[in-house]
Structure 1
Amino acid sequence: MVEHDAFSATREAYDAAAPTYAELFRDTLRDRPLDRAILSAFAEVVSARGDGQVADLGCGPGHITAHLGELGLAAFGVDASPTMIKLARQAYPGLRFDVGSMAALNIADGVLDGALSRWSIIHTPPQELPAILAEFHRVLAPGGHLLVGFSASDDPSHPTQVFDHTVALAYRWWPDHLAAMLCESGLAEVARMVREPQPTDRRQFREIQLLARKA
């Protein structure tokens, strides 16, 4: 029987879109200096506390995982889409990529110095997000850092807003609301980067990247 939950729908949508997605976003960091800056800061704080083992959760075709490796981290990728993982392994054969769900990571407790969730939580229904954040907390070592990127809601009275992501149903989050949810999960906000929409952006949403630390 085919599942019809949000996870299955998202996985199937990204399987279908994987080749096009990989082509569109392979060089996405080249023209995004602020993204490169926050990833560099993330790499620095992660490297300061351990051997730099980092999971890129929702890694897609692996280009960000590879960038983290170039920054000196022991990075590996996890994605729900088998097709995305196949493309990532082909493009970056020297790196590890696993098929998996953010809701049930095949990662031991407290082993990661860092975790990256770059626009991967946006497909998580609001009622399911606390369990995802609890998984992030579980796999991080004490003092480990999480960097989570997402599209921002523009109405604080509606902490989540649905939008058409083209690939799969997605949600925008009010930044303070998501920061509070992180805190409830044991992940305290350290910093945030707000990027206002640019004329060339496909979607005119603010982009938020929150850096949090496990106590």
Structure 2
Amino acid sequence: MTTFWDRKEKPIVALVFTLPFVWMFVSLLMGRYFPDPGKLLMPLSGSWAGVCVVSVLALTPLVKIKALKVLSRYRRFVGLTAFFYTLLHLIIYLVLFAGLSWSWISSDLIDKPYIYAGVLALLIFFLLAITSTKKMMRRLGRNWKKLHRFIYLAALAVIAHLWWQVKSDASTALWFTVFLVPLLAVRWDQFPLIKRLFKKS
């Protein structure tokens, strides 16, 4: 029997997660971010990417609560949204901030090494996105879960990306660390290699 949570809520969930993008896009068209839209949109898009990463990691402990088990249906969607906002963050940097100038970008790659941590997170999200279909789940079998544990490495890359660029205001990095570190800590059993290293020490 089809319930309300099987169908009717999906457009609502999609709307909630796309509202930040719509808000940023409409605000850009209205000229609210000028004269330097890239400078303002980069932290906004990055923050929403971070919110989605926190959300997808928070779903695992939440769905263990019987009343919230229905949320497991949206794990893939929220993960894809994290990839979308991370990709949007990169596009805003390339187009609105760097102006597609290779000399600007190459200079930033030297002066701002935190970019590499962000790119690492993006590459992991891309890998998880293209393997998130049911067909890929069947093809990868048991390896699918092992592959998707790289989300934890992506979360660590996000934390590194935030702290590495801190100059004076560490509030954004601090808030995301407060949420992400506990969500990673409860998955301690997912890191057998690290556990073995600690046991040896």
TM-score by length of 1: 0.27
By percentage of residues, which structure has more helix?
2
TM-score by length of 2: 0.28
Larger radius of gyration: 2
By percentage of residues, which structure has more strand?
1
